[in-house]
Chains A and B, each alone.
Chain A
Amino acid sequence: GAVVSQHPSWVICKSGTSVKIECRSLDFQATTMFWYRQFPKQSLMLMATSNEGSKATYEQGVEKDKFLINHASLTLSTLTVTSAHPEDSSFYICSARDDRRLITEAFFGQGTRLTVV
């Protein structure tokens, strides 16, 4: 089946630094990808929709200047957490659908555990 790969799987960074998370669709093209964050014992919360070749669309309450999204190609979207703080520590997950298939499930990456110290 289709695979979405995230990198890194986990990262620890110092407060004030920036962290980049990559999301790749390995065997299909995805014009649109999605970024979620998930806190312990909670559901996934949609942060933004990443659109290839254009600006991302952010959900209400998500700071676009803090969570920079770049979708430079049909197989890669990146999320950069800028000036990270401990409250940004969370599990970040991306998803994508295959552009060639109209009715299909979304494929999720394995997630990235971010810890800000």
Chain B
Amino acid sequence: LAKTTQPISMDSYEGQEVNITCSHNNIATNDYITWYQQFPSQGPRFIIQGYKTKVTNEVASLFIPADRKSSTLSLPRVSLSDTAVYYCLVGDPNQGGKLIFGQGTELSVKP
């Protein structure tokens, strides 16, 4: 399973756009990129998933360059409630769904 590297922590202010970049140099052809959010003492929650180019949903956008060796999660206009740990994961959903979590990025949003 491809290993991912993310910044350990990031700080932001309410209303700003936050971009968290993840490196996954060894991503395989069948791997998808998925981002999860986790609040303290809760299970991770799915944010967005993509394979290439750009994916957007109601909460975030995911940018994936052509070589797929990295990806960037973009959170528009963050609020205090977006303070959480964000995990980038890479894996092949057709291979049973096993997910290996990296260290994650602890995002702190300040007023």
Contact = CB atoms under 8 A, between A and B. Distances in A.
Given A34-B99, A46-B100, A95-B99, A111 B42 contact: yes
Q: Chain B at the A interface: mostly helix, strand, loop or mixed? A: loop
Interface residues of A, number: 26
Contact of A102 (B43, B93, B100, B104): B93
Interface residues of B, number: 22
Nearest to B103: A43
Interface string A37-75: 000000111100100000000000000000000000000
Q: Chain A at the B interface: mostly helix, strand, loop or mixed? A: strand
Interface of A: 4, 6, 32, 34, 36, 43-46, 49, 91, 93, 95-97, 102-111, 113
Interface of B: 32, 34, 36, 41-46, 49, 87, 93-94, 96-104
